[in-house]
Each structure stands twice: as C-alpha cells, then as structure tokens.
Amino acid sequence: MTRRILVLNGPNLNLLGTREPEIYGSTTLADVERLCAQEARRHGLEVTCVQSNHEGGLVDALHEAGAAGDVVGVVLNAAAYTHTSVAVLDAVKAVRLPVVEVHLSNPHAREPFRHHSFLSPVAEAVVAGAGADGYRWAVELLATRHGG
C-alpha cells in the first residue's frame, strides 16, 4: 500500500490565482496541487488533494483520512475556518494524524480577527507567509518525519 499525504484546502481556495492576487499571488490551486504531488513523489509518497468550501466537507475528509490507514499526515489550509471552526479543530484532534497548518499569506500581518487560529495548538507545525512554497515545505516535513 502506497502511503500518502492529504492536502486539504478550505473555502475560496478554489479561486487561487484570481482572488486577491495582491495577497495570495497568481499561483492556482492546480499549481499548488502539482507542487505537492512532485514533492511527495520525491519521498516515495502520493498525495490526495481535497478542496471544500463547506466546513463539513473538511471534517469528512479528515475523518476519511483518519480511517484510511495509509495517510501519514495532513497539510491543512482551512482558510477562514482556521479562525472560526471548532468542528475542524475537533476533527483534527479526533483523527490523530500529524497536521501541518499552512497559510499562503501571513495572517499575523493582516486583520486582527485572523491572528487567532483554532488549529495551531494541535498542529505539528505552522507555515505562514511563504506562498505556495509553504505547501511544499509542509509536504517535505510530513514526508521526512512520518513518511518512511
């Protein structure tokens, strides 16, 4: 069984490349997914990429990853749900998979409501402000710590 990493993206990330490029850049979600797949392959892993604009979609994807048995970790950009969702927090805690929280921008340099993350206390690591490279670094971290 090939081991894999779940790359999980929350609301509005399907609009990457066109939504507020001055904040999020011109890289598309498809570009991010390709970057993650390339990095995972470098470590002999695969990725499964899921994007949902719905809180329950993120929770369901986390539950499925936890039950699958072949997932070594989760790269999670919960987007706005980072700052609001106890449900996503509880799902992360319940599945007991290592999670790296990722943000394209630096939430601490933005509006005050973005400064709090429900997920950071249960994440193995947080990568913020590195653009799409943050995803690659998150995959590398999970692969080197948990993939082999």
Report pLDDT for 113. Answer: 76
Q: How many helices and strands in the chain, by DSSP H and E?
A: 5, 5
Report pLDDT for 25. Answer: 75
Report pLDDT for 110. Answer: 81
Residues 6+ apart with CB under 8 A from 133: none
Per-residue pLDDT of the chain in tens (148 residues, 90 and over written 9): 789 999 999 999 999 888 877 777 789 999 999 999 999 999 999 999 999 999 999 999 999 999 999 999 999 999 999 999 999 999 999 999 999 999 998 888 787 777 889 999 999 999 999 999 999 999 999 999 998 7
Report pLDDT for 118. Answer: 96
- Which are the catalytic amino acids? 24, 103
Domains and CATH numbers, the chain: 4-146 (3.40.50.9100)
Report pLDDT for 40. Answer: 98
The model carries a pTM of: 0.94
Q: Is 72 exposed, middle or buried (0-12, 13-18, 19+ CB in 10 A)?
A: buried
What is the full DSSP assignment across 34-84? HHHHHHHHHTT-EEEEEE-SSHHHHHHHHHHHHHHS-EEEEEEE-GGGGGT
Strand order in the sheet with 99-103: 46-51, 4-9, 71-77, 99-103, 125-128
Report pLDDT for 89. Answer: 98
